[in-house]
Amino acid sequence: MKPVLSLKNKPLILGGALLTAVALLTFLLQLVGGHPQRAWQAYLINFLVWSAIAQGGLLFSALMHLVKARWTGRLSGLAEAFAAFFPLSFVLFLGLFLGSEHIFPWLHEDLHGKEVWLNVPFLFWRDCAGLLLLYGLGFGYLYHALKPKLVPGDADRGIRGFFTRGQTALQNAPERWQQRKTVFGLLYIIAFAVVLSLIGFDLVMSMDPHWISTLFGAYTFVKAFYLGLGGLIILAAVMRLNQGETAGLSSSQFHDLGKLFFAFCLVWGDFFYVQLVVIWYGNIPEESSYVIERVMRMPWQPLAWAVFAAAFIIPFVLLINKKIKTRPVIMMALCTLIIAGIWLEHLLLIGPAFAHGAAAAIPVGLSEALITLGFMSLMILALAYFMDLFPEIAMAQAPETT
């Protein structure tokens, strides 16, 4: 059976290339067509969402390794595949610099002393350093996690050759190798919390520079792991539907993954609610006005309820049921709904700042959908590249060295 996620799958690569080209064309037409802010708004939201899926996906593997979870099996390998999007994420972040005039509404405002922190060169340098640190630690963890699973061959070249080289050192000192993997995993988890908090403050909360939420950093990295789990469930479901029983993914693994997903659905809902309640009862004008605009005023009010329903109420009701958590098709549809809900949540957070409070309707349409499909195709092509590079992850589960 041909693997569905492979660059040898011609319909997949042609479809991915077509969607990417259409998204790029749509983005450029928006730029020159008088709507550059909507183009950069869609770019920023998609960068945040798809990067979070990749970052949260690898976090699953690191967390499961640190807690010595034995139920994950092949799921950890699939989670590691999301690291293939890291280089694309970094390049896409650099692309934000080109649109800084449209992305940061505070550029020409009086920031009352916050200019030291909120200036474009410093923002990009610190976020660039943070992402390099996060992705560097992620690749360090990936190197030590993948190596024991790979079967070296004489034809190994390039990136695969780098991963399969030096198996003797691994075989002579497997315990030291596991210790290094643990250290890189722990460092990646710490960097995940710190760097994503920084990204949340700089690229989302700063859109309204007079609004402050001390919980926003934690809210950002909890949301990223929620998204990462959603992406992992979709990938596992695709593998199960394509490979059947030979996929090495059992119903009990889907059930356990669904329970973890349900737990983070509750955590995300709690953070979403608690953050707003504290501001509401604090009743500080510059903070409560941020909430009022997004929750009580048109056109944003319906969007706020849609986000809450898609990312919390519907998953909460469905994930209580055990059978649903074991059904790959239903879980895939539910995770797609949640990812769409979180995408809209980003629009709710940054949209009013892009619209400068003058939006007559929610600024979302066909162009945003096409740009999102382009980002999605980049993620799929990155996963397919990883699966081709490491077919041990795509087709079978090799036992880890202990």
CA 254 to chain centre: 20
Using CA atoms in the order 309, 311, 316, 318, what is the torsion angle rounded to 10 degrees? 90
* pLDDT the model gives residue 395: 66
* pLDDT the model gives residue 1: 59
User: Other CB atoms closer than 10 Å to residue 94's CB: what's the count?
Assistant: 11
* Rounded distance between C-alpha atoms, residue 146 and residue 150, angstroms: 7
Distances (CA, A) of 217 to 7, 53, 71, 199, 342: 37, 17, 30, 8, 16
* Rounded distance between C-alpha atoms, residue 393 and residue 199, angstroms: 31
* pLDDT the model gives residue 402: 37
Q: Hey, CA dihedral for 61, 66, 67, 73, is it positive or negative?
A: positive
pLDDT values of the chain reduced to their tens digit, one per residue, 402 residues: 566 778 888 888 899 899 999 999 999 998 888 788 889 999 999 999 999 999 999 999 999 999 988 888 888 889 999 999 999 999 999 999 988 888 888 887 777 778 888 888 899 999 999 999 999 999 999 998 888 887 777 667 788 888 777 776 667 777 888 888 999 999 999 999 999 999 999 999 988 888 888 888 999 999 999 999 999 999 999 988 888 777 778 888 899 999 999 999 999 888 888 877 878 787 777 778 888 888 888 888 899 999 999 999 999 999 998 889 889 999 999 999 999 999 999 999 998 888 776 677 888 889 999 999 999 999 999 999 998 888 877 665 544 443
**CB of 397 within 8 A of CB of 74?**
yes
SS3 36: helix
* Rounded distance between C-alpha atoms, residue 318 and residue 331, angstroms: 9
